[in-house]
Amino acid sequence: MDTNAVERAMRPIKLTAKNSPFAGCDEGAENWAVLASLVETCKLNGVSAEHWLADVLAKLVNGWPAARLDELLPRASIYTMHGHDPRLAA
């Protein structure tokens, strides 16, 4: 698997992370990495990360089924097609 595009896209985040304290713990660093990965996935799929996150959080709060969490990933067709909500387009 070639991950060069993702690694290049995340380079600016790495530079920011280098200068950012992770609240003094490994868990903070891991949480930052997960969030950065999701934001970059949004960018690679042409999805607005801000609107995607707001949409996902709203769905989770309203009881989205755990068995369907993969449908909420930024690469899911509901977000990449932008047919249902123009705010999600980057």
Residues 77, 31, 54, 8: what is their CA dihedral angle, to the nearest 10 degrees? -50
d(CA 33, CA 28): 9
Could you read off the pLDDT of 51-83 as tens digits, one per residue? 899 999 999 999 999 999 999 988 886 776 554
- Of residues 53 and 13, the one with the higher pLDDT is 53
Residue 38 confidence (pLDDT):
87
Q: State how far the Cα of 85 lies from the Cα of 81, in Å rounded to an integer.
A: 9
Q: What is the mean pLDDT of the chain?
A: 75
Domain boundaries, the chain: 1-44, 46-90
